[in-house]
Amino acid sequence: MLLTAALNEPDPDGPRWQWVLQSSGMGKSRLMQDISNGHVVVQIKLREGMDDAVPCDTELADWLLQDSIPYRFICLHYLAFYTAIWEETYAIFSDPRGHLRDRMSCTEVTKEYEVENDHASIFRILMATGSLRQEFFRKVIRRAQKLYQEDIEALQPEKAESTEVLTVEDSPVCRRRAIQAGRAWEFDKFTLPPLIIAFDDGEELLRWREAQPGDEHTMFCPALHLQAVLGEFRSCRILGLVLSSLATIPADSATRPRTIPLHQLRFDLLAPDDLAIPSASLTVWQVSSWEHICLLGRPLWGALHASGMGYDALLQRAKMMLWGEDFAGALVDAAVLVNVEQCMSVMSRRVSLAIAPPYTHNLGNLESTFVERHGGVCLEVHPQTRTIKISTPSEPMLALAAASIVHDHGLDSSLALLRTLRSLRSARSDATTLAAESIILDSLLHASRTQPPCGRSDGRFVPPVVSVVNFFKSLLTHPEGVFEAGPSEVGVTSPPRGTFLDEFSDTYIYLTHFVMVTDPNKILTGDYVLRAMSRGAGIVVKHPDPPWSTSDSETHAAATIYVPFVRKPELSRQTLSLIAVRVTDAIPSFRATPLLHHNLVLREMEGRMLSIMGSSGSAVGDVHPPVIRVLMSFSDPRPSPGYQGVRLPADGPARTASRRAGETLLDVPVSVLTSYDIWCRGLSPALYSAVSEEQAQRYKLVLELQCGGSGGDITDPTKQSDPCTPFQPWIDPDVASLVHVRTTGTRRSDAEGRWDFRVR
């Protein structure tokens, strides 16, 4: 178990305290079983959980968290608690025959275990079955009460009369006895295993509590003081462990702190400095991610466990959805660090920060284990802060995987996906783009272009893929449940719906990173999109002033996100396509809009489907929460029989643009699927030869309509230079070379440099 690796080599500068924050049902109980092997674990249950295998230690929890202790004596209170546990535990292990072996021989559970001379295992069994647990904790409470009282009575007069908060250094009795207990444990390090004090279900330790009235400090957090007290004894082979699934409390007043200030916790986990949020709300934002993990997975855990599935199966399914069935790999051993989800998802960065366990000197092994477990890609390793930044499957990806597993067992997965959308919307105030980014974009791995993924040794780059059919099916089947309010069908008319689902049944998103664009015209300049998309970049175009907002209505920010994707039957050739997704909070209220205006707005929306930038149309109405709106889709180069051709509006800005294009598209219905597929096919040099002259002409007219210019201002994309420049080619060199032979009659060798993909 990496959590307690190398405890026999204590690091004086290493942490004495480890936090495990994870969702419900993700293996905290299994962690306790794993770390109990070969270690002495004193597990303290602070509250009743769903699993009644280990009862709640109510008496000890009440004594530890009692409100009658003055705040200025709180450190002495916790020091007496630690000292009592150390002394009672050492007393048991110094005479295992009298305390453990004889008691073990009298129990019925002896037949179920083969413990022999493993005193740590005997201690764990007796504590779990309850035959030793109550007696042990009652002795701890009595000893701690006595030590605490002796400490108070032995205080120096000036310390006793002072109003200052006392520290461990001020303790006249407990500190000396704690050092003796620690040295005794250290002295017997070859016979006594390391001691771990585990606070299970430690939400109460993470909550801010009110001190007694009249104290200078009115609020305090027990976890901070428990950690500080334990940190005074770094020479001991003793570790504190808190397992919890919640790190916040309800904010019932403006002055009450919501969470523990994470920068004070002496974590082996540091938040990135470049988070695009105010520093004052940093901790609240981080805890929002944890809350999101908890709330997101909870509705599914019961169904997963009922099906015999656990977190291993969930993570395996997520890896399969991300990498494909061939790259999912075998299940990893459960006794690894990430089994307890020791990472914090920073949603705005789509990465995870792995906590380096105490005394883990080889961060490379931790990195490889974390990457192997999560199927992620290591981005940065910081030996000084013992932090590893890794891109991993995010919470939405795990939710999709859980929904997929539940769906396989005959349950409805759409509810989980809709809950995911609502959770993401509420996790951040400026949710204009978060919903689309988190569900469609944040659910993807960042591909490593330097190493073949999942052990591929042939050097051929295989992009990470994630199936989006479940998400789009749920979105289109139950659009009214995505958010609490808003129109049920926005920008999606009935005729294309069936074809849309058919198109995406075998579609996978291919994405490596994102590019932020503030100038909408930039992506239509030259071969910007060709170069970016061929590298696997998703383009996020910010719209500070949406074109459909009017002067007398409030202006709202919006964004259009372009995501490349590939067709499953064509993965070998890696043909690249594009899907545009618009997310905005400037959606009109169709319920309060007359039917005539409703039809006009929908008509203009259909007109904007021909323009990726949505350069025409306007809408007036009440503002609703953000809604994901699919403006267009394209993948099949052949027109679909059921797909309606979209006519341009007869008036408005689109009419002016269409006149510049010769009004050809007004007379002949244009299949959006066919027209835009030409542009997508233009991204792949291997498909240039398949573009007919008629398709190229229609594509040129569409570009003229988008850019609002004349034919002479448009560069034919099929005549552009290498669309991958200056990036590395994403297409298979063998396939590209054959295409090059067919199109140009020449072939460049590796010695001559890069393959020449230009079509001449």
Query: Which amino acid is residue 675, in one-letter code?
Result: S
Q: Which of 139-153, 201-215, 575-589, 693-707 has the highest mean pLDDT?
A: 139-153
CB 529 within 8 A of CB 667: no
Please determine, for residue 181, whether its predicted confidence score (pLDDT) is greater than 60.
yes
Chain segment 469-479, per-residue pLDDT in tens: 333 333 333 33
Check whether residue 307 and residue 215 sit in a common domain: no
Containing domain of residue 506, as a range?
Answer: 485-728
Predicted local distance difference test score (pLDDT) of residue 363: 58
Rounded-to-10 torsion of CA 151, 152, 155, 157? -170
What CA–CA distances, in Å, run from 147 to 137, 157, 548? 15, 18, 72
Predicted local distance difference test score (pLDDT) of residue 115: 54
Query: Which amino acid is residue 698, in one-letter code?
Result: R
Check whether residue 433 and residue 465 sit in a common domain: yes
Q: Is residue 16 part of a domain?
A: no
Check whether residue 577 and residue 684 sit in a common domain: yes
The two three-digit tokens of residue 112, written as one number: 């179920």
CB 619 within 8 A of CB 548: yes
3-state secondary structure of 571: coil
Please determine, for residue 623, whether its predicted confidence score (pLDDT) is greater than 70.
no
Predicted local distance difference test score (pLDDT) of residue 75: 85
Please determine, for residue 359, whether its predicted confidence score (pLDDT) is greater than 80.
no
What is the separation, in whole angstroms, between the first and last Cα of the chain?
60
Chain segment 12-42, per-residue pLDDT in tens: 445 566 666 554 444 566 566 666 666 788 8
Could you tell me which of 546, 566, 585, 555 has the C-alpha nearest to residue 681? 566
Chain segment 397-452, per-residue pLDDT in tens: 444 455 455 445 543 333 333 334 334 333 332 322 233 333 332 222 222 222 32
Average pLDDT in the chain: 47
* Average of per-residue pLDDT across 490-505: 30
Q: Is residue 416 part of a domain?
A: yes
Check whether residue 550 and residue 692 sit in a common domain: yes
Please determine, for residue 572, whether its predicted confidence score (pLDDT) is greater than 50.
no
CB 400 within 8 A of CB 347: no
**Helix intervals (H) in 266-362:** 282-306, 311-323
* Average of per-residue pLDDT across 287-291: 27
Predicted local distance difference test score (pLDDT) of residue 336: 21
The rounded distance, in Å, linking the Cα atoms of 63 and 67 is: 9
* Average of per-residue pLDDT across 468-490: 31
Check whether residue 303 and residue 410 sit in a common domain: yes
The rounded distance, in Å, linking the Cα atoms of 443 and 399 is: 10
Q: Is residue 59 part of a domain?
A: yes
Check whether residue 434 and residue 570 sit in a common domain: no
Number of domains in the chain: 3
Neighbouring C-beta atoms of residue 101, cutoff 10 Å: 15
Please determine, for residue 176, whether its predicted confidence score (pLDDT) is greater than 80.
yes
Q: Is residue 738 part of a domain?
A: no
Give 674-738 as a 3 state SS string.
Answer: HHHHHHHHHCCHHHHHHCCHHHHHHHHHHHHHHHCCCHHHCCCHHHCCCCCCCCCCCCCHHHHHH
* Average of per-residue pLDDT across 240-268: 42
CB 600 within 8 A of CB 553: no
Chain segment 85-105, per-residue pLDDT in tens: 888 888 887 776 666 666 665
The rounded distance, in Å, linking the Cα atoms of 627 and 175 is: 59
Predicted local distance difference test score (pLDDT) of residue 28: 61
Please determine, for residue 513, whether its predicted confidence score (pLDDT) is greater than 70.
no
Please determine, for residue 238, whether its predicted confidence score (pLDDT) is greater than 50.
yes
The rounded distance, in Å, linking the Cα atoms of 69 and 78 is: 10
Beta-carbon contacts of residue 185 (< 8 Å; ≥ 6 apart): 86, 90, 192, 195, 236, 237, 238
Predicted local distance difference test score (pLDDT) of residue 700: 44
Check whether residue 287 and residue 430 sit in a common domain: yes
Check whether residue 72 and residue 156 sit in a common domain: yes
Q: Is residue 141 part of a domain?
A: yes
CB 80 within 8 A of CB 174: yes
Q: Is residue 510 part of a domain?
A: yes
pLDDT band at 303 (very low <50, low <70, confident <90, very high): very low
Q: Which of the listed residues 409, 440, 469 is the one where a domain comes to its end?
A: 469
Number of H helices, E strands in the chain: 26, 17
Q: Is residue 385 part of a domain?
A: yes
- Residues forming beta bridges with residue 343, ordered by sequence position: 354
Q: Is residue 10 part of a domain?
A: no
Chain segment 139-165, per-residue pLDDT in tens: 899 999 999 988 888 887 777 777 778
Tell me which of 239 and 172 has the higher pLDDT: 172
Query: Which amino acid is residue 285, in one-letter code?
Result: W
Please determine, for residue 78, whether its predicted confidence score (pLDDT) is greater than 80.
yes
Predicted local distance difference test score (pLDDT) of residue 121: 75
Check whether residue 588 and residue 459 sit in a common domain: no
Please determine, for residue 166, whether its predicted confidence score (pLDDT) is greater than 80.
yes
Check whether residue 442 and residue 524 sit in a common domain: no
Please determine, for residue 193, whether its predicted confidence score (pLDDT) is greater than 50.
yes
The rounded distance, in Å, linking the Cα atoms of 318 and 466 is: 9
Check whether residue 406 and residue 526 sit in a common domain: no
pTM for the model stands at: 0.40
Query: Which amino acid is residue 319, in one-letter code?
Result: K
Over pLDDT 90: what percentage of the chain?
0
Backbone angles phi, psi at 719, to 5 degrees: -110, 10
Predicted local distance difference test score (pLDDT) of residue 215: 52
Predicted local distance difference test score (pLDDT) of residue 381: 62
Rounded-to-10 torsion of CA 31, 231, 247, 136? 50
Check whether residue 636 and residue 724 sit in a common domain: yes
